[in-house]
Amino acid sequence: MVVAADGCIEKAARTAATFADAAAVCGKAGRHLPPVATLAYARTVDGVDLGTGEMAADVSPGQTLTLPAPLGSLTSTTSYATVADDGTIAARAVTATAPYRCASR
Q: What is the pLDDT of residue 64?
A: 77
Q: Whole-angstrom Cα distance, residue 51 to residue 9?
A: 15
Q: What is the pLDDT of residue 44?
A: 92
Residue 32 per-residue DSSP state: B
Phi, psi of 85 (to 5 degrees): -65, -25
First to last CA, the chain: 11
Q: Are 57 and 34 in contact (CB under 8 A)?
A: yes
Rounded to two decimals, the pTM is 0.83
- pLDDT of 2-55, one tens digit each? 776 678 899 999 999 999 999 999 999 999 999 999 999 999 998 899 999 999
CATH code for the domain in which residue 94 is found: 3.10.100
Domain count, the chain: 1
| Average pLDDT of the segment spanning 78-90 | 96
**Domain residue limits at 46:** 2-104
Q: Whole-angstrom Cα distance, residue 34 to residue 19?
A: 12
DSSP structure string for 63-103: -EEEPSTTS-EEE---EEEEE-TTS-EEEEETTS-EEE--E
Instruction: Reply yes or no on whether the pLDDT at 105 is more than 70.
Output: yes
Q: What is the pLDDT of residue 76?
A: 80
Measured torsion, CA atoms of residues 46, 5, 79, 10, in degrees rounded to the nearest 10: 50
Q: What is the pLDDT of residue 30?
A: 96
